[in-house]
Amino acid sequence: MDRVLLISTKIGALKELEKNISSKYHVSSLSMSESNMLSAVGNAIPDCIIVYVETISRQKLFSLMDLREDERFAELPMLLLSDEEDREIFEKNIDPKQDYWLDRNSSIQEIKMCILEMISSSDRQKHILIVDDDVTALKTVRSYLEERYRVTGVKSGRLAIKFLERQLPDCILLDCFMPDLNGAQTLQIIRNMENGKRVPVVFLTGVSDKQMVLNCLSLHPNGFLLKPVKRDDLVLKINEVI
């Protein structure tokens, strides 16, 4: 799922924007008063940034300046929602400047169209988390994906949960049969985590155990593939769910 970072001077506007686009995008929200935006965003780099400003000043932009100066965020497409006066102040202080501008009273449809354009222009590399206790299988799947995506591999469900406490991947490839925590148990925990409620999960299994398959399917994953999985089938499924 594509990621949108919302930043606003007004909490009400922030919540309204989030409500209107969260069904389609993974949305992170920050108040403009956040003293350390880089720390608040963490490692979940978005595909685009939307900034809503009202009655802005240079001082209120300090934290956003720090964010925009970070190389991970400097090249991300940015939409500014403001009036002409605030736009002028914004452009004097933020470098690089926004790529898109709309009056802050623009319709949600206009904003959604701009988001689509920004997402299509974003070149952020999607991040895939592979969870498999079989080292050979893990290495094989990684080799299929690392030319297209940023890939992280872990060998247990517990390590996957620890990873999600710090970072948010774009998709999780989850083995069904693992010791300690199997795939179904791992997904149950992930879905109860704030950082894992909506991340797409595709199950991988090399054993056709009917009960295990039923347990996994009952959790409504985004896909289910049998191992050994073909490269093209795997890439097709990933592109479908993200």
Annotated domain spans of the chain:
3-120, 127-241
Assigned token pair, 227 = 């191992």
Amino acid at 84: E
What's the topology of domain 127-241?
Rossmann fold (3.40.50)
For 147, residues 6+ apart whose C-beta sits below 8 A from its C-beta are none
Residue 124 has pLDDT above 80, yes or no: no
Whose tokens are 């939409």? That residue is 79
- If we measure between CA atoms, which residue out of 138, 144, 142 comes closest to residue 156? 138
For 233, residues 6+ apart whose C-beta sits below 8 A from its C-beta are 225
Residue 151 has pLDDT above 90, yes or no: yes
Instruction: Provide the percentage of residues in the chain whose pLDDT is more than 70.
Output: 98
User: What DSSP state is assigned to residue 71?
Assistant: H
Please tell me the predicted confidence (pLDDT) of residue 39: 82
Q: How confident is the model at residue 189 (pLDDT cuts 50, 70, 90)?
A: very high
CATH superfamily of the domain spanning 3-120: Response regulator (3.40.50.2300)
Q: How confident is the model at residue 122 (pLDDT cuts 50, 70, 90)?
A: confident
Q: How confident is the model at residue 209 (pLDDT cuts 50, 70, 90)?
A: low
Q: Fold match between 3-120 and 127-241? A: yes
Global pTM reads 0.67
Kindly state the average pLDDT of the residues 40-44: 75
